[in-house]
Amino acid sequence: MSASPAHRTRRAPLLAGFALLALALAACSSSSQVGSYQYHWEYFWRSIFQPDARILGGLWLTLSISVTSQVLGVALGTFAAIGKLAALRPVRMLAGFYVWLFRGTPLVVQIVFFFYGLSATRIYRWPDLNLFGLSIPGEVQAGIFALGVNEGAYMAEIVRAGILSIDAGQMEAAKSLGMTYPLAMRRIVLPQAARVIVPPLGNEFNNMLKTTSLLVLISVPELYYVFNTLQGQYFAPFEFFLAAAVWYLLLTTIWGLIQSRIERRLSRGVAGAAEVGPSLRERLFGTRLGGAEEPSPVSGGR
């Protein structure tokens, strides 16, 4: 085998996977030793292939909270980005303050502050909400709010970079055709900026899927909360936390596939843009040789 360095790097994730599997098997085989951990692999397999209502409920919450928070974050981030680029100084300062505040404080603090802080003082008690026959508990609302507002601060920078990457001539051309600033933004600049925004946005949502686990702090029964409860109940942390990891991995993998489809669609009309996104194999096991020369999607040269 001609094992060039490039080859080796490309296969590294795959090899690492095999190593992990071997380690797990080795660990299993030692289970007979006295005083050692008793493995209950059936807990693991059942959590994956026959998930009960609790797990499915957690899955649903994780997914729905992630999507809602991300949508909120993108909306807030877009407004904040436009605010930061505004001609009026007070608007710029307001947007800057928002980003400064929510990027400068820990998400964990924001989550508990918004839920416990606001409800204990009765500033806002997060009453349950009924929306289209769907009951949304207060802690879920608080969780979505905290995650969304926090995400907005990060999205603001991403969207701003996206807008700045678009040639000023586009806005001028739109204006010269009689378009107002909001219309030109919505129809001309943002759709083009989206192509630059989507790759980092994909990262953000990938993060969001996992960050929802912090809502365990305010007792939102999302995926992590459920598995944390299960492991305590059956005293099987290895099996249940491993299963939790597999579920999160499944979510982020599916998202990765969706993202590459979106990116492909957005490259419409762009000279030199890849016609196809990364393949499944590339998504799963890494693509770039060495990985060092991957351009940053925000500041990158596309």
Partner 1 sequence: MTAGKDSPHDLLEAIGGAPPADDCIVAAHDVHKYFGRLHVLKGVTLSVNLRETVVVIGASGSGKTTFLRCINHLEKIQSGRIFVNGHLIGYREQNGKLVEDRERNIARQRAEIGMVFQRFNLFPHMTALENIMEAPMRVRGVREAEAREMAESLLDRVGLAAKLDAYPSQLSGGQQQRVAIARALAMKPALMLFDEPTSALDPEMIGEVLEVMEELAHEGMTMIVVSHEMGFARKAADRVVFMDDGLILEEGEPEAVFANPQNQRTKDFLSKIL
| Interaction site with partner 1 (CB under 8 A) | 167, 169-170, 172-181, 183, 187-188, 191-192, 195, 268-271
- The smaller minimum CB distance to partner 1, of residues 181 and 285, is found at 181
Pick between residue 39 and residue 181 the one whose CB is nearest to partner 1: 181
| Least distance to partner 1, CB of residue 75, Å | 21
If you ran DSSP here, which 8-state letter would residue 295 be given? Answer: P
In this structure, the dihedral spanned by the alpha carbons of residues 218, 221, 224 and 228, taken in order and rounded to 10 degrees, is 90
The phi, psi pair for 131, rounded to 5°, reads -125, 115
CB 213 to partner 1: min, Å: 37
Which residues are CB-neighbours of 255 under 8 A, at least 6 positions away?
202, 205, 206, 209
End-to-end, the C-alpha distance of the chain in Å comes to 36
- Nearer CB in complex with partner 1: 41/181: 181
The CB density around residue 262, as the number of other CB atoms within 10 Å, is 16
CB of 166 to partner 1, least distance (A): 10
Closest CB to partner 1 among residues 86, 107: 86
Rounded Cα–Cα distance for residues 83 and 90 (Å): 9
Tokens of 26: 């080795």
| Least Å from the CB of residue 268 to partner 1 | 6
3-state secondary structure of 10: helix
Long-range (24+ apart) CB contacts under 8 A made by 115-118 are 115/139, 115/142, 115/143, 115/146, 115/218, 116/218, 118/142
CA distances from 44 to 18, 51, 113, 221 (A): 19, 10, 35, 19
- Residue closer to partner 1 by CB (options 188, 208) is 188
Q: How far is the CB of 181 from partner 1 (least distance, A)?
A: 6
Residue 10 beta carbon to partner 1: minimum distance, rounded to whole angstroms: 32
Q: Nearest approach, Cβ of 176 to partner 1 (angstroms)? A: 4
Of 59 and 190, which has the nearer Cβ to partner 1? 190
Nearer to partner 1, 180 or 279 (CB): 180
